[in-house]
Structure 1
Amino acid sequence: MQSMVEIVNKAGCYGLLVDDMTDIAVLEQMVGFIQFFNHDTGRVQTGFLFMENLLEDSDSADSQTLFDVLCKTLAELKLSLQDMKGFVSDGASVMVGKNNGLAARLKRVNATIVSVHCICHRLALACTDTNASLNYINNVETMVTQLWKLFEYSPKKMAVYLKTQTEMKKIKLTSQTSRKTVAKKLKKACKTRWLSFESAVNSIYDEIVPVLRALEELQSDAVSFGLFKKMRTVKFIGAIYILREVLPVLAQLSKAFQRDTINYAHLEPLIKYTKDKLSDILDNGSPIEQLKIGLSDGGRLSSLDLNCTDHDESQLKSLMTKYITSLKENIDNRLGQSAPILSAFSIFDPTAMPTQDSPEFKTYGETAICVLAAHVFPSEGATMCDKLIAEWGKMKYDILSWKKDVPAVLPHTTPTEWCASRVVRMKSSFGYVYPELVQIAQILLSIPVSNAWPERGVSKVRLLKTRLRSQLKNDVMNALLHITLNGPELHSPDCDSLIHEAVRQWLALKKRRKLPKTGDASSNSASTEASANTESHTEMADASVQTEQIPITITLDEIQAEVQTALKLLDLGEFDDYDSDSDTEYSDTMSPFDLNILCDT
């Protein structure tokens, strides 16, 4: 933790990713992550920062409480609020409220903070808006959820579905594990989980025939009969085919948004690619063609005895056109419009730079430079704008020369991020020529746009703090989350050095008793016997405490004398070997084993 804070302070700016949750102990917690440019590795890095109880000193988790807890935590971590340049949240009103949201309160202290509504949440809202605008797609989503509940909450109906499925596949399942494996193919669709609807649709697509046969056998049940009547239609099955083609494209975009380190430079190409893929599906009409093949003789759906008429095909084409068109519009509405400050960062894209002999080259980027100057240096005014334009007039020649150096394939970055990273890495030389633009490039790399990391943090909290471990305090939880989320890979050199450092610090806290090192008994027996008489050593007793070993120096005559003395004091008469009630007779002489027993007692 301390090393990460030192790297952040060395970077000079950072972005904060925040989410709130309620844990298993019904405590409202704030989970925070930090994004920054690591000069040592030359890459953008995101790491877990803190988890704090919001209601420990407050009665309500309002924006003022969030602000107070956040400022207190940053002060304890020795992170300056003035160095925060980006803030991303899930878009809740308590986070992004225009007047009194957490972002608004932060901007009153630091006006240069860029507040971003998480792109993953915005994509989910775009999909929700599309489903809500089309009644039939919304009905399909409802039926998918009802179907899962029908089988999940009824062992009898699940048994019928499983029997139908195994008979159709001609599979004989004897173990309970095998039955559960087959039954799990129906997935739950949840609106609050970004990718769950895709898996639910795929499961119905794969098992549509067994599902309809099971519903047909359960027609005595009203819900089963209603689902059977609605699902055994060409329109419903065609909608499943359409969703099966469209949802993987959206899931691919969502997974890209959930990447470890993603910034604004990635958004435009990803969105453009997604819209082109959706247009391709609409142009070639592949879902409807696949449906017609499946319903034909010998197809995977031929046993349903359904025919795709011209009217059905026309309905499905209309539904697909409306769905994809509405989806593209909602993506533009939710993701296409961005803050002017984020759009201005696109000047760092070498591939968009016009050639030197182009008429636009002379004034290229000057409008964006003024936007950046007004936001990053609000107190400097026109003076800083002129200074940045002068720096930009020279830097764009360098960026133009880098155009030929941009790799043809950038698997985990974009040309904009590649250029900004190069500018920051060359800070030692560029810092004298372009001091302000180097700072702006670093801000570009530190502004987060996705809240996926806090969502991962929330999942880890629920894995660590379970019903049986619900009393874990936040100091322990913070340590466990740092190990889980920020720790190195197991058995790696970094992991070994971290463990050695942790042990060193633990030993340095106070003087601790050290146990002797244990070695080979056969090779060390002589040295052990030689040292036994000169120095004592500690050993672990049965009661799990450290005790000093006492050498046995008492003889048999001394023991017998002590016994006789005790008998006289207790007035029990003389000691007789045959007075024992036991049937066992004692021998005239005692073995060393018997002597040890007496000494122990």
Structure 2
Amino acid sequence: MANRTIDAFFSKDEKLMADLNNLVSSKSEEIILCSVPNDSGESIDLTQGSSDLSAMTFTKHKTRTTKESKTNMRVLQRFTLKWVDSSSLGCFEAYRNDPYYAFCKICLVKICVARGGKSNLSSHLVTQRHCDAANKMKEVTLESESKISESPSQDKINEAELKICAWALENNVPFAAVDKLANVLRGLSIDTMLLQKLKLGRTKTTSVVAAVIASTHHDELVERMRADNFSIIIDESTDLSSSKTLAIVVRIMNKESFSANDQFYTAIEVECADHATLHAAIVAQFNRDNIDYKNNLRGFASDGASVMMGRSNSVMRLFKKECPDMISIKCTCHSLALCASYACEKVPVYLEQLMRDIYNYISSSPKRAKEFQRIQDIVDVKPLKILHPSATRWLSLEAVIKRNLERFDELNMFFSFQVKYDQNSTAIRILNHLNDPMTKPLLLFLNYVLSLINNVNRTFQSVDSKFFEIYNETKTLLAVVLGNLCREDYVMRFYKENVDAADFENFIKSPEEIYVGVEANQVEKSLEQRKKLIFKSICRDFYIELVKQILKRFDFTNPVIKTAASLNPQTFMELPNLNELMIQFPRFLEGIDKQELDNEFRRLKISVTKLNILETNMTWPQLLDVKTRNSLFMYPLLRNFIRFFLIIPHSSACVERIFSLYNANKTKTRNRLTSDTMNSILKAKNYVSEHGGASKIQLTKTMKIKFNKSMYKHHSVDYLQNSTIVI
């Protein structure tokens, strides 16, 4: 039968058509049915004929399959999450904007899967881009995992901290030192092998300090002293083992920063402390180090002891014979302290004894100390401890007086209770002095006048160069004291016309006009007339003795300190020329052309005036570190000239600090340290401090050479046999 109706077709192939419709609706894909085969296998065309299916007839023709028709009949493939279950495809995920793409989490690209499906993903895994990204990610992962594995647990950290604290307790190490120890440990690259090979005990520590660190410091300093000019500051002291030690500090230029530095040179144990022995010990040390001190030594400073600075037989005089142009300076701080000490002798003796009695009475009994603290709590003031006046009285007396004045009412209340309930004779004596109407005005006066002296004293305890400030600072102090004591016209003539103040007693004010400070003057008004006169007389005698001592210990006619005063960076530009400096300091002009030096000074004045760069806090490096376009210093001769003044010392405070370190290290529990070991400790401490502390010190090439077995020869442990032992 050539033709048959579509009804016959549907009745015969109804199941086939239903399956096709279900497939179309479930996949939502467009499937075009062009022909359907009949019973004999021939194709029946469904696209032609009437729209009425009942009237439609099927045309027989042979099926023709083309490439285009195959493409149209294909279904587009979507990404399926089941694919990533495979370990090899775990790096893929669905692309967020298109279901026909997958996204690679390793190389961060999208891959089309619409035509190839899962095979496209497998092909992507072997591409060069994916392999490079996978290798890089693997390295990062391994590194992060290694860091995580190396990071210690909190328990291990706590255990390490516990052992360090136990070490500090076991060896009586101050807790403040543990803070620095932690910084040192953090700066070390410690691994297990290093810790196993670390061998550092008592003997090696002593050898490293002496033969490596201290030796490096000494060699570097000696090299600088051979090549450059320097000054020395010396002092002698006796330690707790009754050994006399001479300490020498060198003041030398730091060329990098154009500033002078105080460097510890050496400490020499001497049998006696006469001037000849001390001088011979210093010269012997210079000769051992091959230092030409006769040409390089420019300045000398020490305290006011006659053995050091005496006019006839002293260490200073012996060096003056060998170095005629050497500038000698008596310690300004010692001189000011002596001025205050002699002036305080004019004050009633009971005042200083009162300060000591108050301290001893409270501090000697924990019960009394607690009661005094309770009184401060009751009156709602911050609890403060009473200070003890030092025997040296450098700065301590002012601090003690100030503290007692701050708690004057509380002290009066405390000793009133002590007298009422304990009837202690010492408490009765202290309370009587506190209730004396003269006590508080005198304490207020001392608090005022001692602060004037100590402010100048603190200035010259500085490590900076203050040689050129000695004249102006001390003269200003003298002018202030004279202004409190003498008539104003005389003070103005003294300060402006540089008149001799030897006759100052002829110009003293009346007792009522003498200035004693604001607070003392207010309290003094409450005194009766007779006590007012006594109070003012005491203040007048204090001022008179203070002026005499200042005139005795500071020579304001000395051309050296007077001319050097013009070298202050703030006033240097006011000089018309450098003639006076050249005349006064001819030794500083060696190798310098005078005219060229003066020309540089004039150019500097023009530059400062033109640029208006001179400030109140201007320093020499700021003025003379200017360079040209060729990186050369613009004022080289001025630099060479000024540098000599910067190395001249102004006090011996730096040596006092050395002895403070000496006593802090050689204690009752460490009294077996010999003088050689102490000398090495002081040198090593200076080196470590100059290089930023223990956490920043580096092993230099010089230290590497010294770090060998021969370092034990420098410091044998046999040094313990000849030293004292604590029983």
TM-score by length of 1: 0.66
1:244 positional shift = 2.4
Largest Rg, 1 or 2: 2
1:262 aligns with 2:465: yes
SS of corresponding position for 2:320: helix
Task: Give the counterpart of 1:159 among 367, 374, 396.
Answer: 367
1:449 and 2:650 are equivalent in the alignment: yes
Aligned with residue 453 of structure 2, among 244, 247, 250: 250
Q: CA deviation at 1:52?
A: 1.0
Q: Compute the displacement of 1:336 (Å).
A: 5.4
Cα distance in 2 for residues equivalent to 1:135 and 1:284: 14
Q: Which whole-Å CA distance do the structure 2 matches of 1:232 and 1:289 have between them?
A: 18
2:352 counterpart SS class: helix
Instruction: Determine the structure 2 residue equivalent to 1:170.
Output: 378
Instruction: Give the 5 Å matches for 1:21-36.
Output: 21-36=237-252
Cα displacement string for residues 99-146 of structure 1 (whole angstroms, at most 9, x for unaligned residues)? 2211111122221211111000011011112112x243x542233223
Structure 1 runs not aligned, ≥5 long: 173-180, 294-306, 513-601
Query: C-alpha distance in 2, partners of 1:418/1:130?
Result: 41
Q: How does 1:542-561 map to 2 (within 5 A)?
A: none
What is the RMSD of the two structures over their aligned residues, measured on CA atoms?
Answer: 3.9
Equivalent position amino acid for 1:74 in 2: F
Q: What is the distance in 2 between the residues matched to 1:354 and 1:499?
A: 45
Return the match for 1:327 from 530, 543, 546.
Answer: 546
In 1, Cα distance between equivalents of 2:339 and 2:395: 14
Change (3 A) 1:316 1:463: same
1:288 aligns with 2:505: no
Alignment-derived partner of residue 240 in structure 1: 443
CA apart distance, 1:9: 3.5
Query: Which residue of structure 2 aligns with residue 70 of structure 1?
Result: 282
- Please state how far the C-alpha of 1:197 moved relative to its aligned partner: 0.4
Q: List per-residue Cα deviations over 1:391-418 (Å, max 9, x = no partner).
A: 665454235335536855454x767x97
Counterpart selection for 1:16 from 219, 222, 232? 232
Shift of 1:310: 5.3
1:96 aligned to 2:309? yes
Any residues of structure 2 matched to 1:187-202 within 5 Å, and which? 187-202=387-402
Tell me the SS of whatever aligns to 1:230: helix
- On the 8 A contact 2:484/2:516 being kept in 1, the answer is yes
Q: Tell me: CA distance 1:170–1:37, structure 2 relative to 1, closer, same or farther (3 Å).
A: same
Counterpart CA distance in 2 for 1:116 and 1:247 is: 23
**Partner of 2:221 in structure 1?**
4
Please tell me whether the aligned partners of residues 347 and 365 of structure 1 are also in contact (alpha carbons under 8 angstroms).
Answer: no
What is aligned with 1:591?
Answer: none
Alignment of 1:380-459 (within 5 A): 390=595, 394-401=599-606, 403-404=608-609, 408-411=614-617, 440-459=641-660
- Is the aligned partner of 1:226 residue 2:429? yes
Q: Does 1:343 align with 2:559?
A: no
Question: Which letter does structure 2 place at the counterpart of 1:159?
Answer: K
Aligned to 1:247, the other structure's residue is in SS state helix
For the 8 Å contact 2:626–2:633, the answer to whether it is kept is no
Q: Which moved more, 1:261-270 or 1:190-199?
A: 261-270
Matched residue type, 1:452: A
Change in CA separation of 1:270 and 1:511 when aligned onto 2, cut-off 3 Å: closer
> Identity of paired residues, percent?
17
Q: Secondary structure at the match of 2:554?
A: helix
1:474 aligns with 2:693: no
Which among 344, 352, 355 is matched to residue 144 of structure 1? 355
Which residue does the alignment assign to 1:463?
664
Partner residue in 2 for 1:593: none
Distance 1:69 1:265 in 2: 30
Cα offsets for 1:5-32 (capped at 9, x unmatched): 333444x210101111111221100111
CA distance in 2, matches of 1:316, 1:129: 18
Structure-2 residue corresponding to 1:210: 410
Q: Which secondary structure state, in structure 1, belongs to the residue aligned with residue 392 of structure 2?
A: coil
- Cα offsets for 1:22-64 (capped at 9, x unmatched): 1122110011111111112221111111111112xxxx32111
Offset at residue 88 of structure 1 (A): 0.4
CA deviations on 1:60-104 (whole Å, 9 max, x unpaired) are 321111111101112233332121110100121111122221111
Report the counterpart of residue 131 of structure 1 in structure 2.
344
Letter in 1 for 2:277: T
Deviation of 1:480 after TM superposition, in Å, equals 1.4
2:386 pairs with 186, 194, 198, which one?
186
Change (3 A) 1:407 1:101: farther
